[in-house]
Chain A
């Protein structure tokens, strides 16, 4: 029977195409298309009205007209193509993720269309560049969703993935150039790649492999620390390693957001794998200790925290961006100003310089209001719910932890930056998944969604049998049965 599984894997390249209608996806995509068309109409009407007002025209403005029909058509076409490809491939995969992510991406496109086009982007402006990245991201999602039928390449080489991750970190250290005091990017030709975005996916893959393999040992309670029962001490090593890595990212790369993201996702996955609250508690204590250390030792962390505690102390200096973001939320009120009608330009400049990367939520808060923001929070919750449900129905531990990790990495990242925007936690410079401008973020999150859709396949190839390969450490600790 084992040989049969191997044989099935060998025949993998021959994918039998049995088209299967995806009615739910189609229905939801139609709603997405309707939303984006209405949004574009709203933006277009507002932009024409404002332009006429600025030019002093008093003639009535034609109201019905899309803001940027070309970009919208290309984007909707790409969504339709992705849907068609998934339909033709005929896998029984999730039908909700693509429309949800498609709507978030479409909102991002509308936002980029209404921002000053000179803000960033080498391909003829902000919106056009963002569209290219969105298309590549959709392509990645579709490719992964169709082609990934087997997870051995993820499962088997977890230490290789870990090595790649460490390599990426080292690459940033050596080649990374500093933006706003953060060492985030690696310049690749005209583009700047943010390896931390890719790193988060690699981290989840590694953690899924590591935790699923060592799960039985992690739930052992061989060590007692007062009233706390801990697993065998060697198995605390990954926690210590993660803690050290997070600290290292904060100290060396000055990337508070990524460190927070990695550590939180790690803790949550540890809980998923072991269901041990004591781990989470221990992790939070470790995080608190680490947080105190970096707060007292690192000036930039202290500045961040001080700005967070009282941004209004220096509203035109250190606290400027945070205060202006809060003002943007306040201006939005309940129903917002309408797309294209907010974000007052001062001398031709946006009130928040890093709007397209760090504060898109503040922009949406102003233009769509509380009502719109709640809808967007809902969209992220849908992505999380889908991911966790895919995890819950996964056939084995590895896939479950992988799916959970992939959805958590999106959900937690969204939470960190949104909470930072809203002054609930100190601001960190990470991107808002699917909405922030930038290729690294869109591609990494496309990778996440593509894998999630692939993992959701009900008819997917079975996970390989429980590994027989000996693990010396495991044998040492393991108490034999019989």
Chain B
């Protein structure tokens, strides 16, 4: 029995079989090449620019963000490096937290750090060739340093003046729209939030705080305005010609005692004993802050006109500002009565700042600034200039709107001076007086639901004859005693100290 030798049963030579196996592997490797081509060419752009991309994440962590300075060149935010060499942010003072915000590796960006993130981290550039040549650059990102309009000393003074209260202060230059101070209390330690070793603990404690320190109140919080809204009503009434400064209402003195009957609803006001029996004119009504006078004025002006004139100040829209702003409103809207008011009662209440009217502190600072600047409202802004590799770009002051005629502005200016300095008005707003500086202003006490202390407001500007600074102050639940005015006075003194160098 012979054994069958090897290789004899083979039909296909081994070389051919090997060739086929080799071909199969070559095809498989061709598939790999196609796969690599798909990811590296077709999907290259969208994957490598997605926020999940490690390079995008690393770049944002590696990049030395631009330094932020105040208008005098004092550093507000700069960088330090942790043990692994990655930079993190350091801030000059917690008082800046409400406006500069923070930039944290873990918790993202807020405030100016978020709004100008692209420029600060250098991923955005004005140079169209930049993206094309990015790969061939030694330093592919171009972080820009920002010089802000802020004044560090005023910012610190604002937080100090607000003390333990929750509240906000906005101070700006009405001639340019430069925001000099923008404070929100309580503040928080943004440096601790940015430092990787303390970030987690700070984040949880800040989030657990019932006083909501992370809320930038100056731009994002909406408050009932109370009497300071009378300046808006006055602008609408005088501007539309519904009243003149000589207008008075015969029913007003009686209504102070019995209440003003509007559409079957009685509007009450505190009694002004000093003016007992006299029908007040415009100046005096502003000076004593007479609710009845402005309710009647609002009714005479009409809802549509009041809403229109409020819109000129910026109500009903996001403000053109570096930071996102909450929308201020005169009414919830949707009502059939003019301007979206639901009825005369709401309109009459809104006219002296109650009703459904809600405002941000920045919006009210703009109201003061428009009056101060002869009716011309400048665009508010925080950044004066950005300096990158290719030089410095200035942000020029720009006119946003002509809100009212200059003569209307000067009439309101005069009434607001009286409110601070007049013999009757002093009772409510004397705290805003600064020796040697003529302050014009209007205080407000925003009545809230029963059981809640009212918000205390002040808006104003100085010097009254040549306004260089406008201010809005709100102290949440500041109580019946007017606390906004003395804080404003304190701030204006600080401003004068800064302005005089």
Contacts and interface: CB of A to CB of B under 8 A. Distances in A.
Interface of A: 49, 53-54, 212, 215-216, 219-220, 268, 271-272, 275, 315-316, 323-324, 326-334, 337, 342-348, 351, 365, 369-370, 373-374, 377, 380-381, 384-385, 388, 391-392, 396-397, 400, 404, 408, 411-412, 415, 418-419, 422-424, 466, 468, 474-475, 478-482
Interface stretch (B55-63, B173-181, B185-193, B365-373): B55-63
Interface string B221-257: 0000000000000000000000000000000000000
Nearest to B50: A327
Given A219-B11, A327-B54, A466-B5, A334 B41 contact: yes
B2 A481 contact: yes
Contact of A388 (B12, B22, B45, B86): B22
Given A329-B36, A377-B33, A424-B31, A315 B52 contact: yes
Given A404-B21, A475-B1, A397 B41 contact: no
Contacts of B135: 337
B39 interface: yes
Contacts of B499: none
Contacts of B6: 212, 215-216, 396-397, 466
Contacts of B9: 215-216, 219-220
A344 B62 contact: yes
A384 B25 contact: yes
A380 B10 contact: no
Contacts, number: 182
Given A330-B40, A334-B40, A478-B4, 18 more contacts: A215-B9, A216-B9, A272-B18, A275-B10, A275-B17, A326-B43, A327-B48, A328-B54, A329-B40, A347-B86, A365-B39, A370-B37, A384-B26, A388-B19, A408-B25, A412-B25, A415-B28, A466-B5
A318 B349 CA distance: 58
A283 B105 CA distance: 52
B54 A351 contact: yes
A475 to B, nearest CB: 7
B16 interface: yes
B44 A392 contact: no
Contact of B14 (A316, A337, A400): A400
Contact of B36 (A351, A373, A474): A373
Contacts of A49: 138
28 contacts: A216-B5, A216-B9, A219-B10, A268-B21, A271-B20, A271-B21, A275-B11, A326-B39, A330-B39, A331-B48, A332-B40, A342-B55, A344-B58, A346-B58, A347-B86, A369-B40, A381-B25, A384-B25, A391-B14, A397-B6, A408-B21, A408-B25, A419-B32, A424-B32, A468-B3, A478-B1, A478-B4, A480-B2
Contacts of A329: 36, 39-40
A419 B36 CA distance: 9
A52 to B, nearest CB: 9
Contacts of B5: 216, 466
Contacts of A323: 52
A212 B7 CA distance: 9
B2 A392 contact: no
Interface residues of B, number: 59
* Interface SS, B side: helix
B341 to A, nearest CB: 50
A280 to B, nearest CB: 10
B37 A480 contact: no
Nearest to A394: B14
B59 A344 contact: yes
Nearest to B14: A400
Contacts of A391: 14, 18
Q: Which of B1, B22, B28, B139 has the most CB of A within 10 A?
A: B22
A377 B86 contact: no
Contacts of A381: 25-26, 29
A385 B22 contact: yes
A333 B41 contact: yes
B129 interface: no
Given A330-B43, A365-B40, A384-B22, A275 B33 contact: no
A267 B24 CA distance: 13
A354 B20 CA distance: 35
A400 B18 contact: yes
B31 A419 contact: yes
Interface of B: 1-12, 14-22, 24-26, 28-29, 31-33, 35-37, 39-41, 43-48, 50, 52-55, 57-59, 61-62, 84-86, 105, 135, 138-139, 196
Q: Which of A219, A347, A474 has the most CB of B within 10 A?
A: A347
Nearest to B52: A315
Contacts of B37: 370
B1 A480 contact: yes
Contacts of A384: 22, 25-26
Contacts of B43: 326, 330
A318 B62 CA distance: 26
A190 to B, nearest CB: 27
A400 B50 CA distance: 50
Given A344-B58, A404-B21, A333 B40 contact: yes
B84 to A, nearest CB: 4
B40 A272 contact: no
Nearest to A60: B138
A326 B47 contact: yes
A209 to B, nearest CB: 13
A388 B52 contact: no
Given A275-B10, A327-B53, A348-B84, A53 B40 contact: no
A388 B21 CA distance: 9
B389 to A, nearest CB: 12
A374 B34 CA distance: 10
A257 to B, nearest CB: 16
A369 B40 CA distance: 7
Given A330-B39, A384-B22, A272 B14 contact: yes
B2 A346 contact: no
B35 A424 contact: yes
A342 B26 CA distance: 29
A229 to B, nearest CB: 13
A396 B3 CA distance: 18
B44 A333 contact: yes
B132 to A, nearest CB: 13
Closest 7 CB pairs of A and B: A344-B58, A330-B47, A351-B54, A348-B84, A275-B12, A422-B35, A329-B39
Given A326-B47, A330-B44, A344 B55 contact: yes
A56 B9 CA distance: 74
Contact of B10 (A215, A220, A326): A215
A348 to B, nearest CB: 4
A409 B46 CA distance: 36
A419 B135 CA distance: 28
A422 B18 contact: no
Contact of A333 (B12, B18, B25, B48): B48
Contacts of A343: 54
Contact of B32 (A347, A422, A474, A475): A422
Nearest to A391: B18
A351 B52 CA distance: 11
A216 B8 contact: yes
B2 to A, nearest CB: 4
A275 B84 CA distance: 59
B224 to A, nearest CB: 43
Contacts of A220: 9
A475 B57 CA distance: 70
A109 B12 CA distance: 43
Nearest to A323: B52
Contacts of A408: 21, 25
B103 to A, nearest CB: 16
Nearest to B54: A351
A303 B314 CA distance: 55
A478 to B, nearest CB: 6
B25 A419 contact: no
Given A53-B139, A344-B55, A370 B1 contact: no
